[in-house]
Structure 1
Amino acid sequence: MDMLAGFLTPTQGTVTIGGEKVLGPGQDRGVVFQQPNLYPWLSVRKNVELGSKFRKIPASVRHDEAKRYLKMVGLEQFMDRKPYELSGGMQQRCQIARVLANDPEIILMDEPFGALDALTRERMQVELLQIWRKSKKTVFFITHSVEEAIFLGTRVLVMSARPGRIILDEAINISDENGSPLGAELRSAPEFVRLRDKVSTAIYEAQGVTGVSPAQH
């Protein structure tokens, strides 16, 4: 992810996005970090506006854009609060709104829900799906949770330990009988369970673990 973001240069090979070589950070990519990196002295709205302000977007335009994205992530009523007045999940939503406000082509998310409690994490996963369906952005999401990967992804890549290699590349398409994408009920769908077990098995085999049923973990 650091190489996709342009934070690191590959020692071998190249990284390309849309046919263009990645040479450093760019406006076409936005990063949502594991811990919210909001500025505590700025309001929620001003945090979201920050990128637009640096790009010298007129104040009226960036105000409207901030309100739009804060409404999208459910924080419209908290725009004048400071980040430390928000819960961890709300801070992550603010960070997502700030990235969306910069209108990147790709959003890079580095275990953004890893520090949240289980209930908040599940709620944030559902909210992220809703945001993704509204924004239509490409999201590259890193997680150590197999269920989270299946729940959020349209394509899941499993990597081995050092040296990192892609050992599974699986398309995900779980929908109801009408072809509509499922929401929170997706976790109980038979196809979800099948894919979860397939991904888990690939991870176990890469670690040299055999004879273990994925359902046991």
Structure 2
Amino acid sequence: MKISFLKFKNAFPKNEQRKFTVDTSVFSLFSRNVLGVDFPADLVSFFDEMGGGYFGENDLYFFCDGKEKMPRDSFQEWNEKDFWRDIFPSAADGGPVFFAETSFGDQIGYRMVDGDCIYILFLIDTFESFVIAENGSELFERVLTERFALVDERRLIGVEKNYGRLKEGMHFAPIVSPMLGGKGNVENFCLETPNVHFRTAIATFKSIQKSGS
């Protein structure tokens, strides 16, 4: 059954002046040949119709194919980052492949489980992972249908009062990690590049594991 992206479009309108077209054959080849899993047909439909880049008030970023100058890593570059092996198994062994993220850097990805595709949300600042949809219809027609579906409304509005709409190529990231007792209040957030954000969070997680805290 064909997925309708109407509710998603209403919740996260695309900036037509910053729209990036996506060649989904690039995604499919990379996913299959490099990562070892098929790229979901539901996501092919999404990227063919919607393209990549920022959606809404820069609330969500969908990775692009690298053929145009982009504000973020391409889908291929991001999923080949060396730090993923410190967090998850490979995609071929059941680990996730990430195709989008929130303004706080939380990752939206897919995993193959017994031949079926499920969609997950990975929270980099707490190292928690949740299944958010069992299929593409549920993801785009039921989950991603309002702006605050994946983020805390008061936190996002408060952080945007301090910094404005998220700057392209950045994340809203905690100054003191929640893993070290950092609070979720607005004052504990700053702007960081995704690379710094992730590597800092991973180093914090490893340090806590090593200390046995």
| Alignment TM-score, normalising by the size of structure 1 | 0.26
Q: Flag the structure with higher strand content.
A: 2
| Alignment TM-score, normalising by the size of structure 2 | 0.26
